[in-house]
A and B are shown apart, each in its own frame.
Chain A
Amino acid sequence: MIEIFDITLLFIIFSLFLFSPLNLNVKNIYIVLFLAIFLLVNYFKDSKKIKVRENLLIFLIFFSIFFIFSIDIANELNLGWDAKWFYLIESLYYSQGNTFKELTEQMFRDFHPHPHLGSYLWAFFSNLSINNHEYYGRLFYLFLFIFGLFLITKKIIQNKNYEPIILIILTIVTYKYKYFSGLQEIIIFTNLIFISIVIYDYIVEKKFSDLLIISLCLNLILWTKAEGIVYFLIVISCINLIKKINFSHRIKFNILCLSLIVFKFLVYQFFEIKPNNQPYSLNFIENLDFDILFYQIYNITIYFVYNSINNIIYFVVLIVFFMSRDKIFKEEYYKFIFIFFLLNVCFIYSAYILRDQEIVYSLKTTIDRVVFTSSGFYLFFIGIYLKKLSFNFIK
């Protein structure tokens, strides 16, 4: 049942992404909603099996959590630095009736730190409201976030009595207002939750449709932040390392992913967008100095460890890796998560080493967000591990 909602939501976001070159128009909203309902009713036989009464409680809790956090966002209103600097400005292009064309011509040619999808969603949902308050757009990020946690709960917990409790605990552990201050990490976080769940299904069932959904999520990540390309490549590498993957699946999936990158490249070519304002350079390699390298690695390690403990998810996933060290190379899903973790840690180190900015300053201001972004990928894995652990305990 839950896959229906998952796919429908992804479909809605993907449709919105396809509409993003156009200006915001009420017609687009109706088209997207119509297509979503059409998809829900006609393409999923399971949709008839949705039992409202059985799931009423979890839906009630879902919307209670959404309401409680919405009030927090409505009251706080404080935007993050980057949100004030460019995400909201990008979003204003859409909410003030412009299109991707104007956005690229007037902003992206001189200043293009990140792609536009998150800002487009922000504008789309703030324009849905009667009084066009900016924060309505950010409530969609909140919806996505709770939906990701809802999916994990539904997948892991079979007992309907415990579902709401686990969902609330997950939100208590992971929610912080700053993730909803207009920054885009929360979108990648949620997409990584989707991917981690769907890849588990793929390893068990080996259905190509799962890989299709993953590529859909990867595409959204690619258009959310510049760093999205790294998560895109890491996930593709991990999927290619899965043993016993059907050869035709592998080929089709890789071609699909390659075409997504080519598509982005073509869009950038067409609109003459140059990805600039990225604080990375290869000067470091040219002037390699081992003292500086040691100083950088030392600082990255200190801040990384501190933020991993602060984030809890990273801290727990390390414990889980340690506790299940025998399974890491035996079970496909464990291996997948472990390789993702290694590549992700390599990414964090190399990103800061190559960053053309004072290292301590950039670590202080950004590493908590970098750690948070990828932590979404491990949540479902931790859930699966705890579920197995509880079964063993009961036995």
Chain B
Amino acid sequence: MISYLKLKKFNFLLILICLFVLMNRTDFIKDFSRVLKSDEPSRIVDRYGFCGGESIGYLRYLKEKFNFKSNPKIINFIHTPPTNWSIYDTNSINLKSDFEILINYPGEEIVIELPLNDKHFFLLKKSNYSLGNSSKEIIKFYIEDKTIKNLSIEFFSFDNFKIKKKISNLNIKRSNNNLFIIKNSENKLGFGKKNILIKITSEKGIYKNDDLKLIFQNKYQLNTLEILNNYQNCYLIKK
């Protein structure tokens, strides 16, 4: 064959080495055996997970089982790339769907851990993904230090000139369940509408520990919904 291709032996060897490097670079043998062993749908599940992460496996399973005639709304409780591509039907785009699919359902409450933005302020960004599925009527503050009994919480936002502007100031006592609860009827504080800086002061001074958690009520309460299918924390519900 080498003579048929008019190739020098040394060059043939070089080509083989280069091809070997190329195969090694892409993990060819491993990839090839995977492609041979498992079909495309199972490789998709391996890549994206069945229920967890993007949960493409669960979405495809639902599409096959329920044969949707329209595109159900997919609500993913963790921030991932869009997932609707996996079951999207361009022919039924104008039809209203009776179904919603909940993925990575966290439970009745949604916990948002807040980082300390600078020395004194915790930052809750308006683009925080979890806020989209949260009810903002009642907000619970959780801090590790159990000895703190009273908190003064100041809320700030930025004006057009990026200068901090105080929105509200609340004094709260610790409730029985070790939480500090505030009422935010009609979302007066504007969570999810603007970036909010939170300054917390306790009887010990300004709170600077990086362990603040905000607990919101989930908009989707399972006991009020009709569940058609469930696997772990993935659900198909009827509107």
Q: Please report A residues at the B interface, Cβ cutoff 8 Å.
A: 53-54, 56-57, 61, 64-65, 68-69, 71-72, 74-79, 81, 84-85, 88-89, 92-93, 96-98, 102, 106, 131, 133, 135, 160-162, 164-165, 168-169, 171-172, 175, 177
B22-A168 in contact (CB<8A): yes
Instruction: Tell me if A89 and B26 are in contact (CB < 8 A).
Output: no
Contact, CB under 8 Å: A57 / B5: yes
Cβ-defined contact, B90 with A96, below 8 A: yes
Nearest-neighbour CB distance to chain B for A365, whole angstroms, equals 12
If over half of A's interface residues share one DSSP class (helix, strand or loop), that class is named, otherwise mixed; here it is helix
* Interface of B: prevailing SS: helix
Q: Kindly state whether residue B34 has any CB partner on chain A within 8 Å.
A: yes
Within 8 Å by CB of A96, from B15, B21, B43, B89, lies B89
The 9 closest A-B pairs by CB, nearest first: A75-B31, A168-B18, A72-B26, A161-B11, A81-B81, A84-B81, A88-B85, A57-B5, A93-B90
Interface size, chain B (Cβ < 8 Å): 37
Shortest Cβ gap from A360 to chain B (Å): 14
Nearest Cβ on chain B to A188's Cβ, whole angstroms: 22
A386 to B82, CA, bound (A): 44
Pick from A64, A75, A102, A175 the residue with the most CB of B within 10 Å: A75
Q: Is the CB of B18 within 8 A of A165?
A: yes
Q: Which residues of B contact A131 (CB under 8 A)?
A: 40
B15 touches A165 (CB 8 A): yes
Contact B26 A85 (CB under 8 A): no
A92 smallest CB distance to B (angstroms): 5
Q: Annotate B19-55 by CB proximity to A: 1 below 8 A, 0 otherwise.
A: 1011101111001101100001001100110000000
Identify B82's interface contact among A57, A85, A97, CB under 8 A: A85
> Which residues of B lie under 8 Å from residue A160 when comparing CB positions?
6
Number of A-B contacts (CB under 8 A): 99
- The contact of B14 among A64, A74, A84, A165, by CB within 8 Å, is A165
- Are A169 and B18 in contact, with the CB atoms below 8 A? yes
List residues of chain A with CB within 8 A of the CB of B83. 84
Pick 26 A–B contacts, CB within 8 A, sort by A. A54-B6, A57-B7, A72-B27, A72-B31, A74-B40, A75-B31, A75-B32, A75-B43, A79-B85, A84-B85, A85-B81, A85-B82, A88-B85, A92-B88, A92-B90, A96-B89, A96-B90, A96-B91, A106-B90, A133-B40, A164-B18, A165-B14, A165-B18, A169-B18, A172-B25, A177-B26
How many Å from the CB of B18 to the closest CB on chain A?
4
